[in-house]
Amino acid sequence: MRRHFALEDPQCLVDEDPDHRIARFTEWAVELSREAAVKALKQAELRADNISALIVNTCTGYICPGITSYLIEEMGLDRGIRAYDLVGSGCGGAVPNLQMGTEYLKANNKGVALCVSVEICSATCQMGDDLSLILSNALFGDGAAASILWGRPEGLEMVASASRHVPEKRDTIRYVHREGQLQLPFPGS
Protein backbone atom coordinates (compact mmCIF):
# COMPACT_ATOMS: atom_id res chain seq x y z
CA MET A 1 0.00 0.00 0.00
CA ARG A 2 1.28 3.45 -0.91
CA ARG A 3 0.16 6.96 0.01
CA HIS A 4 0.60 10.02 -2.14
CA PHE A 5 0.64 13.70 -1.25
CA ALA A 6 -0.18 16.48 -3.70
CA LEU A 7 2.40 19.09 -2.85
CA GLU A 8 5.68 20.38 -4.20
CA ASP A 9 7.39 20.95 -0.86
CA PRO A 10 6.41 19.15 2.38
CA GLN A 11 7.48 22.26 4.31
CA CYS A 12 4.22 23.91 3.21
CA LEU A 13 2.34 21.64 5.62
CA VAL A 14 4.06 23.31 8.58
CA ASP A 15 2.94 26.88 8.02
CA GLU A 16 0.58 27.00 5.03
CA ASP A 17 -2.02 29.73 5.33
CA PRO A 18 -5.66 29.00 4.39
CA ASP A 19 -5.50 30.91 1.08
CA HIS A 20 -2.50 28.92 -0.14
CA ARG A 21 -4.06 25.71 1.14
CA ILE A 22 -7.25 26.14 -0.91
CA ALA A 23 -5.20 27.20 -3.94
CA ARG A 24 -3.17 23.98 -3.58
CA PHE A 25 -6.37 21.98 -3.13
CA THR A 26 -7.81 23.51 -6.31
CA GLU A 27 -4.68 22.93 -8.38
CA TRP A 28 -4.20 19.32 -7.37
CA ALA A 29 -7.87 18.31 -7.17
CA VAL A 30 -8.37 19.48 -10.74
CA GLU A 31 -5.11 17.91 -11.99
CA LEU A 32 -5.64 14.52 -10.33
CA SER A 33 -9.30 14.46 -11.38
CA ARG A 34 -8.37 15.24 -14.98
CA GLU A 35 -5.69 12.52 -15.01
CA ALA A 36 -8.10 9.93 -13.59
CA ALA A 37 -10.85 10.96 -16.03
CA VAL A 38 -8.55 10.81 -19.06
CA LYS A 39 -7.32 7.37 -18.00
CA ALA A 40 -10.91 6.11 -17.57
CA LEU A 41 -11.89 7.47 -20.99
CA LYS A 42 -8.89 5.81 -22.62
CA GLN A 43 -9.60 2.50 -20.93
CA ALA A 44 -13.24 2.64 -22.11
CA GLU A 45 -12.11 3.72 -25.59
CA LEU A 46 -14.22 6.86 -25.39
CA ARG A 47 -13.61 10.51 -26.21
CA ALA A 48 -14.55 13.58 -24.19
CA ASP A 49 -17.45 14.31 -26.55
CA ASN A 50 -19.04 10.94 -25.64
CA ILE A 51 -19.64 12.07 -22.05
CA SER A 52 -23.11 13.42 -21.25
CA ALA A 53 -22.86 13.67 -17.44
CA LEU A 54 -19.98 14.54 -15.12
CA ILE A 55 -20.19 13.91 -11.39
CA VAL A 56 -17.34 14.86 -9.04
CA ASN A 57 -17.21 14.35 -5.29
CA THR A 58 -14.80 15.62 -2.66
CA CYS A 59 -14.85 16.61 1.00
CA THR A 60 -11.34 17.95 1.56
CA GLY A 61 -11.84 21.36 -0.02
CA TYR A 62 -14.49 23.69 -1.30
CA ILE A 63 -14.38 25.82 -4.43
CA CYS A 64 -17.23 27.51 -6.20
CA PRO A 65 -17.89 26.91 -9.05
CA GLY A 66 -16.80 23.36 -8.39
CA ILE A 67 -14.26 21.00 -9.88
CA THR A 68 -16.65 20.08 -12.72
CA SER A 69 -16.30 23.57 -14.19
CA TYR A 70 -12.52 23.11 -14.45
CA LEU A 71 -12.82 19.64 -15.99
CA ILE A 72 -15.36 20.83 -18.56
CA GLU A 73 -12.90 23.50 -19.66
CA GLU A 74 -9.65 21.51 -19.49
CA MET A 75 -11.01 18.32 -21.06
CA GLY A 76 -13.07 20.04 -23.75
CA LEU A 77 -16.32 18.50 -22.49
CA ASP A 78 -19.59 19.66 -24.02
CA ARG A 79 -20.71 22.96 -22.47
CA GLY A 80 -24.24 21.54 -22.20
CA ILE A 81 -23.12 18.52 -20.15
CA ARG A 82 -24.98 17.62 -16.96
CA ALA A 83 -22.47 18.56 -14.26
CA TYR A 84 -22.82 17.75 -10.57
CA ASP A 85 -20.45 18.61 -7.73
CA LEU A 86 -21.01 16.59 -4.55
CA VAL A 87 -19.29 18.16 -1.56
CA GLY A 88 -19.28 16.95 2.03
CA SER A 89 -20.14 13.27 1.55
CA GLY A 90 -16.99 12.25 3.40
CA CYS A 91 -14.88 9.15 2.91
CA GLY A 92 -17.75 7.29 1.26
CA GLY A 93 -18.47 10.04 -1.26
CA ALA A 94 -17.90 7.71 -4.20
CA VAL A 95 -21.04 5.76 -3.26
CA PRO A 96 -23.54 8.59 -3.79
CA ASN A 97 -21.49 9.64 -6.82
CA LEU A 98 -22.00 6.24 -8.45
CA GLN A 99 -25.63 6.15 -7.32
CA MET A 100 -26.23 9.52 -8.98
CA GLY A 101 -24.52 8.27 -12.15
CA THR A 102 -26.70 5.17 -12.15
CA GLU A 103 -29.86 7.25 -11.71
CA TYR A 104 -28.74 9.52 -14.55
CA LEU A 105 -28.38 6.47 -16.81
CA LYS A 106 -31.82 5.18 -15.89
CA ALA A 107 -33.27 8.46 -17.10
CA ASN A 108 -30.93 8.71 -20.12
CA ASN A 109 -30.30 5.14 -21.28
CA LYS A 110 -28.01 6.19 -24.10
CA GLY A 111 -26.02 8.53 -21.87
CA VAL A 112 -22.49 8.11 -20.57
CA ALA A 113 -21.63 9.29 -17.06
CA LEU A 114 -18.09 10.10 -15.95
CA CYS A 115 -17.85 9.74 -12.16
CA VAL A 116 -14.78 11.19 -10.44
CA SER A 117 -13.83 11.01 -6.75
CA VAL A 118 -10.96 13.16 -5.52
CA GLU A 119 -9.53 13.94 -2.10
CA ILE A 120 -6.61 16.17 -1.25
CA CYS A 121 -6.34 15.17 2.40
CA SER A 122 -3.04 17.02 2.73
CA ALA A 123 -5.11 20.20 2.36
CA THR A 124 -6.56 19.37 5.77
CA CYS A 125 -3.25 18.36 7.34
CA GLN A 126 -2.46 20.18 10.57
CA MET A 127 0.72 19.89 12.60
CA GLY A 128 0.74 19.34 16.34
CA ASP A 129 1.04 16.73 19.04
CA ASP A 130 -2.71 16.18 19.43
CA LEU A 131 -3.46 12.47 18.92
CA SER A 132 -6.30 13.20 16.47
CA LEU A 133 -3.94 15.21 14.23
CA ILE A 134 -1.30 12.50 14.32
CA LEU A 135 -3.84 9.79 13.46
CA SER A 136 -5.50 11.70 10.62
CA ASN A 137 -2.13 12.71 9.15
CA ALA A 138 -0.98 9.08 9.27
CA LEU A 139 -4.14 7.58 7.76
CA PHE A 140 -5.12 9.72 4.80
CA GLY A 141 -3.42 10.59 1.51
CA ASP A 142 -4.24 12.40 -1.74
CA GLY A 143 -5.66 10.88 -4.90
CA ALA A 144 -8.43 10.55 -7.46
CA ALA A 145 -10.28 7.77 -9.25
CA ALA A 146 -12.73 7.82 -12.14
CA SER A 147 -15.32 5.44 -13.57
CA ILE A 148 -17.34 5.42 -16.74
CA LEU A 149 -20.98 4.37 -16.39
CA TRP A 150 -22.98 3.49 -19.47
CA GLY A 151 -25.68 1.10 -20.56
CA ARG A 152 -23.45 -1.29 -22.49
CA PRO A 153 -22.89 -4.96 -21.70
CA GLU A 154 -19.08 -4.61 -21.50
CA GLY A 155 -17.25 -4.29 -18.18
CA LEU A 156 -18.68 -4.58 -14.72
CA GLU A 157 -22.39 -4.32 -14.05
CA MET A 158 -23.85 -2.38 -11.15
CA VAL A 159 -26.52 -4.74 -9.93
CA ALA A 160 -27.67 -2.77 -6.91
CA SER A 161 -26.53 -0.32 -4.29
CA ALA A 162 -27.80 0.79 -0.95
CA SER A 163 -26.91 3.29 1.71
CA ARG A 164 -27.34 3.20 5.44
CA HIS A 165 -27.09 6.52 7.21
CA VAL A 166 -26.25 6.62 10.90
CA PRO A 167 -26.22 10.36 11.60
CA GLU A 168 -25.83 9.96 15.35
CA LYS A 169 -22.37 8.46 14.70
CA ARG A 170 -21.08 11.41 12.66
CA ASP A 171 -18.81 12.51 15.50
CA THR A 172 -16.90 9.22 15.17
CA ILE A 173 -15.06 10.55 12.10
CA ARG A 174 -15.79 13.93 10.61
CA TYR A 175 -14.18 17.18 9.59
CA VAL A 176 -14.60 20.27 11.74
CA HIS A 177 -13.52 23.86 11.14
CA ARG A 178 -10.92 25.10 13.60
CA GLU A 179 -9.21 28.43 13.10
CA GLY A 180 -10.65 28.64 9.60
CA GLN A 181 -9.33 25.27 8.42
CA LEU A 182 -10.67 21.75 8.13
CA GLN A 183 -9.39 19.29 10.71
CA LEU A 184 -10.25 15.68 11.33
CA PRO A 185 -10.53 15.18 15.07
CA PHE A 186 -11.05 11.71 16.45
CA PRO A 187 -13.35 10.98 19.40
CA GLY A 188 -11.99 12.19 22.69
CA SER A 189 -9.86 14.95 21.13
Which residues carry out catalysis? 91
Give me the helix-helix angle, 67-75 and 18-44, nearest 10°: 50
d(CA 132, CA 137): 8
C-alpha span between 140 and 106 (Å, rounded) = 34
Widest pairwise Cα distance in the chain: 53
Q: Computed from CA positions of residues 53, 58, 59, 60, in that sequence, does the dihedral angle turn out positive or negative?
A: negative
Between CA 66 and CA 33 the distance in angstroms is: 12
Residue 172 burial (CB count, 10 A): 9
